């Protein structure tokens, strides 16, 4: 059953997970546990440092000064410039919230699936990867309206391509189609205006319409952008499917059989616990030669409210690309924030 809007303002926290892939101590521990052969879970691209975390904090302070607290998840290392005494900053080490039987972990899914265990985390929170940035002023209502997370909805087919995302999606949908078996049509009837709101974009509405005939959920559209969650959603999924999530969390590195944090978003969709947000709110850039100019223009011209600067194996000349992208951030966020020493 969908939650009823409360109409009462509530604190909104931000959560960001960060790893310093250059830390020798972290590298040594990772090497100690790494199997001899791994898929994309251990590629250097996933851990190389863009040296732009300070711009994330500058953006939050400038564009979202209303945020309640920032929970900074780390293996243990900290940027030398970070003002750890900032009253709104909560440093969260893996051992502070992840059950001991899952540690040490180098699996981002384990880090994300257990976020509800973070001490002091608000019921309403926004989860960022460290490649996701605000680039324009945002308001609390952009993320939560009447106590419900804002999101863009769309049914989609799962794509099994060059990385593991399709496999994670498949594992997530196995939970969803088990939990909501036979309910697709009743959920669509209940949330018809949400499913077919033009805020989702015409293309997503068309895809949703074309996928109506199947009685199960084929998959959901997902943008690699900050995710708005209710803490109680994570708790509920753990209560009902803890054995499945536990199996993922026992994998020290990502595996194709893993569930990931998208399952919480999809759960909110099926429960009706969301409000529709325009699909033009943010944009994802999987960096390669052909879209590098577009990315830089999007940052400098502040074209979107938020963007994802997603590193890929196709990212051209990493060091020069990093300098160019960071120079763009410097143009719009030149002033140090109070989160910097």
- pLDDT (average), residues 126-141: 98
As a whole number of angstroms, the distance between CA 279 and CA 306 comes to: 11
Q: What share of the chain is helix, strand, coil (3-state, %, to 5)?
A: 40, 15, 45
Confidence bin at 39 (pLDDT 50/70/90)? very low
Residues in the chain: 341
Instruction: Give the DSSP per-residue string, 208-222.
Output: HHHTTTSSS---B--
Could you tell me which residues come within 8 angstroms of residue 81 by beta carbon, excluding any fewer than 6 positions away?
54, 340, 341
Asked if 234 and 240 count as a contact pair (C-beta separation under 8 A), the reply is no
As a whole number of angstroms, the distance between CA 237 and CA 269 comes to: 13
Residue 327: CB atoms within 10 Å: 12
Confidence bin at 7 (pLDDT 50/70/90)? low
Does residue 104 have a cis peptide bond before it, meaning omega lies within 30 degrees of 0? yes
As a whole number of angstroms, the distance between CA 318 and CA 51 comes to: 12
Residue with tokens 């944009």: 283
Residue 160 DSSP symbol: -
11 SS3 class = coil
As a whole number of angstroms, the distance between CA 100 and CA 115 comes to: 14
**pTM of the full structure:** 0.94
- Measured in whole angstroms, how far is the alpha carbon of residue 185 from the centre of its chain? 28
As a whole number of angstroms, the distance between CA 226 and CA 42 comes to: 23
Could you tell me the domains of the chain? 12-332 (3.90.550.10)
In 3D, which of 275, 277, 278, 233 has the Cα closest to residue 6? 275
Tens of pLDDT, residues 135-188: 999 999 999 999 999 999 999 998 887 677 888 999 999 999 999 999 999 999
Confidence bin at 83 (pLDDT 50/70/90)? very high
Asked whether residue 1 carries a pLDDT value surpassing 80, the answer given is no
Radius of gyration of the chain (CA): 20
Q: Which pair of tokens denotes residue 145? A: 């309206």
């Amino acid at each position: 059953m969908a939650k009823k809007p409360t109409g009462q303002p509530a604190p909104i926290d931000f959560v960001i997970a960060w790893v310093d892939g250059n830390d020798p101590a972290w590298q040594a521990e990772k090497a100690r546990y790494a199997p001899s052969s791994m898929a994309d879970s251990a590629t250097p691209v996933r851990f190389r440092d863009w040296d732009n975390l300070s711009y994330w904090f500058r953006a939050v302070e400038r564009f979202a000064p209303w945020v309640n607290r920032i929970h900074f998840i780390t293996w243990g290392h900290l940027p030398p410039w970070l003002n750890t005494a900032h009253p709104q900053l909560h440093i969260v080490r893996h051992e502070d919230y992840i059950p001991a039987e899952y540690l040490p972990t180098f699996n981002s899914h384990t880090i994300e699936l257990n976020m509800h265990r973070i001490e002091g985390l608000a019921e309403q929170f926004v989860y960022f990867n460290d490649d996701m940035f605000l680039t324009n002023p945002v308001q609390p209502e952009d993320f939560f309206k009447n106590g419900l997370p804002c999101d863009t909805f769309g049914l989609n087919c799962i794509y099994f391509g060059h990385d593991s995302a399709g496999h994670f999606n498949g594992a997530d949908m196995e939970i969803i189609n088990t939990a909501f078996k036979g309910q697709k049509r009743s959920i669509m009837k209940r949330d018809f205006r949400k499913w077919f709101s033009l805020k989702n974009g015409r293309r997503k509405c068309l895809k949703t319409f074309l996928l109506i005939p199947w009685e199960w959920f084929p998959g959901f559209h997902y943008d690699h952008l900050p995710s708005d969650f209710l803490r109680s959603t994570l708790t509920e999924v753990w209560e009902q499917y803890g054995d499945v999530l536990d199996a993922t969390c026992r994998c020290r590195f990502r595996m194709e059989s893993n569930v990931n944090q998208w399952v919480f978003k999809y759960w909110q969709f099926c429960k009706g616990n969301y409000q529709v947000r325009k699909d033009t709110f943010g944009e994802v850039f999987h960096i390669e030669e052909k879209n590098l100019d577009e990315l830089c223009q999007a940052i400098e011209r502040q074209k979107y409210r938020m963007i994802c600067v997603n590193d890929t194996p196709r990212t051209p000349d990493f060091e020069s690309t990093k300098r160019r992208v960071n120079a763009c951030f410097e143009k719009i966020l030149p002033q140090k924030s109070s989160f910097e020493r």
